[in-house]
Amino acid sequence: MSEPTSRIHDLGYKRYVGTRRPASTRWRVILRNQIAIAWKRWWRYKLSLFLSIVITFVAGAIMYFIGGRNMKMLIGDGTQLKIVDGVLPAVVQFYCSFPLFILSLTLGSMIIASDTQTGAFTFYYVRPVRARDYVLGKLAGYGLIVGSLIIIPLILLAGFRLAIGLDSVDQLVERLVIFPKVLAIGTLATLLYTTIPLAISSLMAKRSHAIAVWAAYYYIFGNICAAIGLTSTPFVAAFDIQTGLSAVTQQLFNVSRPIQKNGFNLELSGNVAALILIAQVIVAIGVIAYQVSRDQKSGVGASS
């Protein structure tokens, strides 16, 4: 690559005399940049978005065919609605296992580790950006991306479910309760798949390490917890993100059958699972805040 020439251009330089945006709004700049970075490469966000759209279409198609008049005549009204009602809780697992997990590998677990690796903390903190602006910008930016892959599809599917086999306005009002339920499970999943990968990312100095540790946390640690839960102490299984979310989903959607994993039945309360998952989210946010604040103090000008 050729080196630049020594000409100096000013392009009619004039001192900036306009107002500057308030310092308290800088986190929004970080948020917007986070979304722009995610959109830039197909494998970062678009791949997961594609998978999410496919899952939504497949789930919608299943609901459409099972909810049709022919199927009603074939299997009866009660069974038909039971199957249709089962699609939404089942599909949550698919969103978590594919788009959300893949996104956490291609983007989430790399976000802060990447900044550590490239020395970007200096870039941020020599400007009027506080550690909390950075944390808020990254969390909100990545959270919106994660949320777009699960909350929006779940709301669409819930709307679709609302329309299937609808006979009266009373029935419509009765079924509206499905929206807070999908919002609750979607928000919980968004928080989990946003904060934990970012927390692991904040602990690592290299992108590759962050990806490996997050994958190990998700699969190895998760499966160990699930195994402990299945064999001796059920609540430990809620430390496995997928199992915990399953328990919460089943309780929210009144699914009575126990969670099945590797042929075992797990009796895990949805409330307990929700508490443990929320605790993980809080710890993850604490880890991010601590690490980022520490990096702010040590990062600038450290090597000079």
Partner 1 sequence: MRPLIELDKLGKKYGPTVVALRDVTASIDGRIIGLLGPNGAGKSTLLKCLLGLIPHDGTAKVLGLASKTHGREIRDRVGYMPEQEALLGGVSAVELCTYAGELSGLPRTEAMQRAHAALYYAGLEDKRYQLVDGYSTGMKQRVKLAQALVHDPEILFLDEPTNGLDPKSRDEMLQLIQEMPDRRGCAIVLSTHLLPDVERVCDKAMIMHKGALRFVGTIDELRGVRGHVGELNVYVKTDAEKLAEALRGAGASCYVHSPVVLAVDLPPTASARTVFERAKQAGVQVRGVEVRRESVEAGFLRVLGEEERRP
Please give the residue ranges that form the binding site for partner 1 (CB under 8 A).
Answer: 1, 3-11, 13, 15-16, 18, 20-23, 26, 29-30, 33, 37, 40-41, 114-115, 117-130, 296-297, 300-304
Residues 214 and 171: beta-carbon distance below 8 Å: no
Q: How far is the CB of 11 from partner 1 (least distance, A)?
A: 4
The smaller minimum CB distance to partner 1, of residues 31 and 146, is found at 31
Residue 192: exposure state from Cβ atoms within 10 A (0-12, 13-18, ≥19): buried
Q: How far is the CB of 203 from partner 1 (least distance, A)?
A: 19
Q: How far is the CB of 303 from partner 1 (least distance, A)?
A: 4
User: CA 161, CA 85: separation in Å to the nearest integer?
Assistant: 8
Q: How far is the CB of 291 from partner 1 (least distance, A)?
A: 16
The smaller minimum CB distance to partner 1, of residues 251 and 296, is found at 296
Tokens found for residue 57 = 């279409």
Residues 95 and 55: beta-carbon distance below 8 Å: yes
Residues 200 and 104: beta-carbon distance below 8 Å: no
The smaller minimum CB distance to partner 1, of residues 17 and 169, is found at 17
Q: How far is the CB of 107 from partner 1 (least distance, A)?
A: 11
The smaller minimum CB distance to partner 1, of residues 10 and 167, is found at 10
The smaller minimum CB distance to partner 1, of residues 82 and 297, is found at 297
The smaller minimum CB distance to partner 1, of residues 122 and 187, is found at 122
Residues 284 and 199: beta-carbon distance below 8 Å: yes
Q: How far is the CB of 30 from partner 1 (least distance, A)?
A: 8
Q: How far is the CB of 142 from partner 1 (least distance, A)?
A: 15
The smaller minimum CB distance to partner 1, of residues 117 and 223, is found at 117
